[in-house]
Amino acid sequence: MARPLDPATREALVERVRFYRDLGLTEFYRRPVDPALIDQSLPLLSAESVGEQPASQPAQSQEDQPIPARRTFPAPPQIAAAVPPAERAAALQIIRDEIGDCTRCALHTGRNKLVFGDGSPAARLLFVGEGPGADEDAQGIPFVGKAGQLLNNMIAAMGLKREEVYIANVVKCRPPGNRTPEPDEANTCSPFLFRQIDAVRPEVLVALGATAATYLLGQRQPLAGLRGRVHSFRGTKLIVTYHPAYLLRDPRQKKEAWADLQIAMRELGLKAAAKD
């Protein structure tokens, strides 16, 4: 008997189903459906299956197979040995202390909370966004608004938990009206991002949108010309994809974003694990 869901959880699950549907992933749910959970226009989903990695084969051909356990996401031994997770957390704290109550650029004047970063200090995958929005400015945490919910769904589609990755922005204070950070603002703040990346030492970076791509690559190019291949940021693999806020405005691009995330999964060796 399925447990009743509170409205917020139900809405989050329905939104995740929509996300998978938009990706074209509609045949990977194998458990009975709670009809109260979703409306008939959406693909089938049970609460238990949310967040599982999409299967590579249609559900009908795998009915007699056990449902795989959620994959863990440990750091490779050589990475863990080089920089122990406890030291990475301490390194991040040093960077946060150095930023302090920052007034280095004009963005500090409109800030409520400085948004440093969120996630695992030992993450193998690090997302870089542009800057905080209103929700992030209020909470001091990156990607917690609608775009954050979409990013959470993207992370879940990769078979990961949000707390297994690290998320940071090019600028740590909200630009007025959510405008794009000015070059002097981004150039003033981005060295802190670079140090965060050095501290976490991820194997793969994902730049969310043109601003993140511009300041990680050190050059401004149309996003279309940067997507679909692996770049390098100081020796770390870098994938460029759309910002979730853009995907909210143009959901047709979600399949393209999913293709980019699959490149990141391949680089992390996650594709083979998804077939367990």
Binding region for ligand SF4 (CB under 6 A): 99, 102-105, 107-108, 114, 171-173, 185, 188-189
Cβ distance to ligand SF4 smaller for residue 104 or 266: 104
Q: Pull the structure tokens for residue 44.
A: 């089938």
Residue pair 55/29 in contact (Cβ under 8 Å)? The answer is no
Cβ distance to ligand SF4 smaller for residue 189 or 210: 189
Cβ distance to ligand SF4 smaller for residue 96 or 266: 96
Eight-class DSSP state of 142: S
The rounded radius of gyration (Å) of the Cα atoms in the chain is 19
**Least distance (Å) between residue 142 CB and ligand SF4:** 13
Read off φ and ψ for residue 162, nearest 5 degrees: -55, -40
**Least distance (Å) between residue 243 CB and ligand SF4:** 18
**Least distance (Å) between residue 174 CB and ligand SF4:** 9
Cβ distance to ligand SF4 smaller for residue 130 or 185: 185
**DSSP-H helix ranges across the chain:** 7-23, 77-82, 85-99, 134-139, 146-157, 183-200, 210-217, 223-226, 244-249, 254-267, 270-273
Residue pair 247/208 in contact (Cβ under 8 Å)? The answer is no
**CA 135 distance to own-chain centroid:** 17
* Distance of alpha carbon 261 from alpha carbon 239, whole angstroms: 8
**Least distance (Å) between residue 175 CB and ligand SF4:** 8
Of 5, 56, 249, nearest to 159 by C-alpha is 56
**Least distance (Å) between residue 158 CB and ligand SF4:** 29
* End-to-end CA separation in angstroms for the chain: 27
Cβ distance to ligand SF4 smaller for residue 16 or 172: 172
Residue pair 178/107 in contact (Cβ under 8 Å)? The answer is no
**Least distance (Å) between residue 99 CB and ligand SF4:** 5
**Least distance (Å) between residue 156 CB and ligand SF4:** 29
Between β-strands 118-119 and 166-169, what pairing exists: parallel, antiparallel or unpaired? antiparallel
* Distance of alpha carbon 207 from alpha carbon 212, whole angstroms: 5
Cβ distance to ligand SF4 smaller for residue 104 or 271: 104
Cβ distance to ligand SF4 smaller for residue 12 or 138: 138
